[in-house]
Structure 1
Amino acid sequence: MKHRTLLTLPALMAPLPALAADIDAWVDGLMSPVTEALSALVFFSVPLFGADLPLVVLWLVAAAVFFTCYFGFLNVRGLPHALRIVRGAYHNPDHKGEVTHFQALATAVSGTVGIGNIGGVAVAISVGGPGAAFWMIAAGVLGMSTKFVECTLGTLYRRQNPDGSVSGGPMYYLEKGFAEKGRAGLGRFLGRFYALGIVIGCMGIGNMFQANQAYVQVVNVTGGFGSSWFGDKGWLFGLILAALVALVILGGIRSIARVTGKVVPFMALFYCAGALLILVMNREALPFALQAIVSGAFSAEGVTGGALGVMVIGFQRAVFSNEAGIGSAAIAHSAVQTNDPVTEGFVSLLEPFIDTVIISTMTALVIITTLYYVPSFTQGLGGIEMTSRAFERNVAWSPYFIAVAGFLFAFSTMIAWAYYGLKGWTYLVGEGKLAEAGFKLVFCLFVVVGSSMQLGSILDFSDAMVFLICVPNILGLYLLAPVVRRELRRHAQQVRDNEPLQVQQEPART
């Protein structure tokens, strides 16, 4: 009898790293020209006062400034009311929708709080100096106004499905809002363009990038790629992570909200407690850090482009982190149980505040206080490595802490973006169990791909698409800002009169 060799699963998977590298190179060669052209368009910069200003950042920040002024600094005035709403002051389980105000907020926060809050902040400070943190905070506060507008509209123009679920987001308010203004054809085009962009984006920066970064962190804390048992088993890590993601997203927004309602508060408190511990240990350096942040924000020396360059770097980090103006969070917020869309607009104010003003600022302070003791510690380090090294200076086991935080941030981002992509997909192809199941299967497969391969061009392409869709989204926000102001006035009158919070008249439907 001819001898047969029994192939075990590890033996079958052994050639995968080499195969992944070959596929990565092939995809990179195929996509690079397209990606480079799209990135050059989306992130086109103009030289101004010695700094290169990305037009997409200016587009987002200009909108944030406009809406802050248009609504009379509601981003600051509305915080107490937002806290009352998220605590359940106006919650009514009989109102249409699927999740509570708190669960909607937790889902949206899980989509914005990610690896960028750990690594991206470090990169901004290493490039722009401590002053970048000042403008990062300022942009976060301004972005709260944009979130208010898009999340109010997302809830106002959402669609009630026959099964009781709801679908909302920029694609719906672009279509219906432009139709109200007599531009139905343009609205449908912009809605479909947005939906396509969010589907592509969810597979890249909302999925593969997060999976890859989570994998890299696990490998780094278990010995590195040369020694870690996971070093050549990205496929296995991806399968495990995909199974965890599937367990959550298969249950829809209610399942996602239940998980994020528990994971997001835990991971935010977990990370902030660790950062606070480091700041207590570095308390001697806090005056230095605060002085460096303020003086660096307005100093014309020491950084590329002077004070304007620092401002751009800080603004860029903030808008890339909290996604104000991208419109993605409006998809999650629109699932809320409420008959008054403005209540969810108020709740959304808390999202950039948590993401940028609290979590990103904590990271910035940890890094800047470390610079006080070791001015050169940032040299030669990447973003998340820099943050990890800053923590490690005080607590030796901090890399494990950062790895756990990074994994939680990545996982929560993935399940939120799965919902964003799903709603974009069903907007394009129609609601249905088969369409939903197919999308979720593909999303989980991309988790495995992201853990196994770099696919840099694909990630860059999806990143560019996510920021390209801010163009139609912001146009829609400008067009429909008077609608939001009308709803805000009605809401304020109902609160003064202690009336039940609900819409008095539905907007026109087409």
Structure 2
Amino acid sequence: MALTATATWSAAQALAATEPVGPVTLDERVNAVVSPLSTFLSSVIFASVPVGGVPIPLIVVWLFAAAIIFTLTFRFINISGFWHGVQIAIGRYDKPDSDAPGLITHFQALTTAVSGTVGLGNIAGVAVAISLGGPGATFWMILAGLLGMSTKFVECTLGVKYREIQKDGRIDGGPMFYLRDGLAEIGKARLGRVMAAVFSVCMVFASLGGGNMFQSNQAYQQLVNATGGASSPLAGSGWLAGLVLAALVGAVILGGIRSIANVTGKLVPVMAALYILSVLVILGLNFSAIPAAFGAILSGAFSPQGVAGGVIGVMIQGIRRATFSNEAGIGSAAIAHSPVKTRRPVTEGFVGLLEPFLDTVVICTMTALAIVITGAYTQPGLSGVGITDTAFRSVAPWFGWPLTIAVVMFAYSTMISYAYYGTRAVRYLFGPSELATNIFKVVFLIFIVIGASMNLGAVIDFSDAMLFSMSIPNIIGLYFLIPVVKRELASYRADLKSGRVKPAPQNG
């Protein structure tokens, strides 16, 4: 029988209050204070109903159903719009130096958003999914990623459609604006204002959780793995690693979206290339085992063992981790895409649908294959990034260092992107108040230290709960605004067909 929220909170407090053996480190003190809250929030957001003896989190069903509905509504835009999205992202249909409103190019918008989605969810999150659900969880991650492309298309189109361009040149956009203004257009202004405020509050806390605590936690853990494990000089000093990360993040987030776009535009391609090349080495050295790995993924996805327990349990793990990784339905990416230079909102919808493909279908699948082929997920006593580290070290002991570099870079880029997301939410709630945004930035940096100091389980509970809570107001708004996206898409396709929209002239 599942614990009630009150019972879970009491149990967590009792666990946190247990007297430790030996000297108490600062990391242990931080963990004891924050873990009960993480457990309580997770029990509320991931409230479940039993199906065949397996608890099904309603929030996961909510997200997966939305992805299916958007895919069917827009006639598989995730497939039909893929190549056009690539063409727009590389500047084929919009010149970067055009006089269209906006601050950043399509490519910069994509890399800024990808830096917030392609991160440790692809490295540690995949390992968590496979360790809990077996290789079959990979299949459901891929499916969730493919369907999530349609959700991203809707979110990013609306993010640009209802953005606000301020007198000082700043651009504010994202779910809070399309919830408020989009619903007002269809006569639901009060509902829109309430949901926009709820989303903004959830966004602030999500940026503190999934946006930095999980990132700093796993970056620190991988640094420990790379420098000796339990005997590492960094062991037990997560707070110190957190301080260093906080200082590096703070140096960038004070510069705003242009600064963030410049950093991520250079950092994301480099870190993605480093990580992908490293995984390709693992797959190349184990090439003959790849067919068997795919076989394990497919058979595990539909395992008859335990009937509902085997299939549904694995499905839930795969979908949950895929959503954490690519954030389709969460709404965060619409914030990063809203400052793009374009006059047609739907163009950014096409670019946005590329994110789940890059994030989940490509990078998550490669990680999963490396973990399954090497059998790293079967090793006892490992969790999160430690599983992926074991897969990398199967090549050679030193091969954990490319992973370490990638992990730290992924974590860094994700944190600076989520700092931007959080400040946009604070700006919506409190207006153009420098005091409010600066207070948030200080709190954000403090939570980097807290995340590095905590246990992985508590961090995942808090991160997932805060991130997934954003999907409730966001998806409600998306359903109401489907007709708006349909009109934008129909108008754009008509202009493409007539020649009013044509490829931009290419230099040289």
Q: TM-score under structure 2 normalisation? A: 0.89
2:222 and 2:389 in contact (8 A); partners too: no
Task: Look up the match of 1:22.
Answer: 29
Are 2:128 and 1:127 equivalent residues in the alignment? Answer: no
Cα gap change, 1:261 to 1:222, in 2 (>3 Å): same
Preserved contact between residue 209 and residue 466 of structure 2 (Cα < 8 Å): no
Q: 1:410: Cα distance to partner? A: 0.8
1:94-140 Cα shifts (integer Å, max 9, x gaps):
11111111111111111112222112212222332222211111110
Correspondence 1:52 to 2:55: yes
For residues 288-347 of structure 1, give each alpha carbon's deviation from its aligned partner in whole angstroms, at most 9, with x where no partner exists. 112222222223127871223322222222112111001011110111111110000000
Give 1:247 shift: 2.2
AA at the equivalent of 1:192: A
Contact 1:111 1:412 (C-alpha < 8 Å) held by counterparts: yes
Q: Are 1:50 and 1:309, in contact at CA under 8 Å, matched by a contact in 2? A: no
Shift in CA distance, 410/303, structure 1 to aligned 2, threshold 3 Å: farther
Between the two proteins, what is the percent identity of the paired residues?
55
Q: Which amino acid aligns with 2:66?
A: A
Alignment match, 1:397: 398
Pairing partner for 1:263 from 267, 274, 294? 267
Structure-2 separation of matches of 1:378 and 1:453: 23
Deviations, residues 167-226 of structure 1 (Å, cap 9, x unaligned) = 111111111122112221221111111101111111122122312221222122112354
Give the Å deviation of 1:25.
2.6
- Counterpart amino acid of residue 110 in structure 1: S
Task: State yes or no: 1:64 paired with 2:71.
Answer: no
1: CA distance between counterparts of 2:183 and 2:149?
24
**Deviation of the 1:151 alpha carbon:** 0.8
Counterpart among 318, 321, 337 of residue 317 in structure 1 = 321
Task: Report the more deviating stretch, 66-75 or 320-329.
Answer: 320-329
Q: Is the 8 A contact 1:122 1:384 kept in 2?
A: yes
What amino acid does structure 2 have at the position aligned with 1:114?
G
Two-structure CA RMSD over aligned residues (Å) = 2.3
Query: Is this contact kept in 2: 1:24–1:455, CA < 8 A?
Result: no
Matched residues in 2 for 1:218 and 1:328: separation?
28
- What SS does structure 2 have at the residue aligned with 1:326? coil
2:181 corresponds to: 176
* The one of 205, 211, 222 aligned to 1:206: 211
More deviation, 393-402/151-160: 393-402
Kindly state the Cα deviation for residue 462 of structure 1 after the two structures are TM-superposed: 5.0
Tell me the equivalent position of 2:14.
Answer: none
| 1:84 counterpart = 2:75 | no
- Once the two structures are TM-superposed, the CA of residue 456 in structure 1 deviates from its matched residue by 7.2
- Where does structure 2 lack aligned partners over 5 or more consecutive residues? 1-22, 503-508
Letter aligned with residue 480 of structure 2: L
What is aligned with 2:468?
467
Instruction: Give the SS at the match of 1:90.
Output: coil
Name the counterpart of 2:228: 223
| Structure of greater Rg | 1
Instruction: Give the equivalent residue in structure 2 for 1:118.
Output: 123
Q: Aligned pair in 2 of structure 1 residues 23, 365: CA closer, same or farther (>3 Å)? A: closer
Q: Matched residues in 1 for 2:369 and 2:150: separation?
A: 25
Change (3 A) 1:123 1:437: closer
Matches within 5 A, 1:406-485: 406-452=407-453, 460-461=461-462, 463-485=464-486
Once the two structures are overlaid, the 10-residue window that deviates more, 103-112 or 380-389, is: 380-389
CA distance in 2, matches of 1:237, 1:388: 19
Aligned to 2:357: 353
SS in 2 for 1:140: helix
Deviation by residue 1:24-71 (Cα, 9 ceiling, x = unmatched): 43444xxx2x55443223111222245322111100000000000000
Match of 1:285 in 2: 289
Match of 2:163 in 1: 158
Secondary structure of 2:50's aligned partner: strand
Scaled by the length of structure 1, what TM-score is found? Answer: 0.88
For residue 42 of structure 1, the aligned residue among 45, 63, 68 is: 45
CA distance in 2, matches of 1:462, 1:318: 14
String of CA shifts for 1:483-502, please: whole Å, max 9, x gaps: 0011000111111223259x
Residue 369 (1) aligns with residue 363 (2):
no
Q: Alpha-carbon deviation of 1:381?
A: 1.7
Contact 1:101 1:347 in 2 (8 A): yes
Secondary structure, in 3 states, of the residue corresponding to 1:52? strand
Tell me, in whole angstroms, the C-alpha distance in 1 between the residues paired with 2:463 and 2:230.
27
Deviations 1:203-257 (Å, cap 9, x if unpaired)? 12212231222122212211235441x3354444333222221222111111101
Mapped pair 1:190 → 2:190? no
Quick check: 1:51–1:306 contact (8 Å CA) kept in 2?
no
User: How far apart, CA to CA, are the structure 2 residues paired with 1:432 and 1:91?
Assistant: 34
SS in structure 2 of the partner of residue 394 of structure 1: coil
Q: Would you say the 8 A contact 2:257–2:420 is kept in 1?
A: yes
Alpha carbons of 1:43 and 1:402: their partners in 2 closer, same or farther (altered >3 Å)? same
CA distance in 1, matches of 2:114, 2:320: 19
Is residue 139–residue 318 contact of structure 1 (8 Å, CA) maintained in 2? yes
1:431-457 deviation digits (Å, cap 9, x = unpaired): 244443333233223333433455976
Contact 2:26–2:239 (CA under 8 A) maintained in structure 1: no
Using the alignment, how far apart are the partners of 1:245 and 1:333 within structure 2?
Answer: 21
Q: Offset of 1:269 from its aligned partner?
A: 1.2
CA contact (8 A) 2:211 2:419 kept: yes
Q: How many residues align?
A: 478
State the partner residue of 2:493. Answer: 492
Structure 2: how far apart are the matches of 1:415 and 1:251?
10
User: Secondary structure of 2:199's match?
Assistant: helix
2:286·2:373 contact (CA, 8 Å) conserved in 1?
yes
